[in-house]
Amino acid sequence: MNQNEIEFAVFCIENIAQALQKNSKEIFELLVNESDILIDYIIPCYESLHTQSKQYIMDDIVDVMKSKGVIAC
C-alpha cells in the first residue's frame, strides 16, 4: 500500500463508521478480520473509487459489506 491508498482506507473506515453509527475500530475489524474487503476490494479499487463522491464510495462499500454478509441488509 502506498500513502494515498492508506489515507483513502482511513477515509473509508471513518466515513463508514459514521454512516453506520459505529466506531472506527469496529469497522476496521469488519473490513479486515471479518472479511477481505479492505485488502481485496477497497485498496485494489482505489484508482476508480477515489474519483467518486463520498456518498457513492460509502454506498458502494456498504453494498459490498452487505453482499459478503458482514453487515445485515
Domain span holding position 62: 3-67
Domain membership of residue 72 (yes or no) is: no
What's residue 6's pLDDT? 97
Residue 73 lies in a domain: no
- Rounded to whole angstroms, what are the CA distances from 3 to 8, 9, 10? 9, 10, 11
| The pLDDT value given to residue 60 | 97
Q: How far apart are CA 72 and CA 50, in angstroms?
A: 25
Eight-class DSSP state of 23 = -
Per-residue pLDDT of the chain (73 residues; tens, 9 = 90+): 899 999 999 999 999 999 999 999 999 999 999 999 999 999 999 999 999 999 999 999 999 999 999 998 7
Structural domains in the chain (count) = 1
Query: What's the predicted TM-score (pTM) here?
Result: 0.92
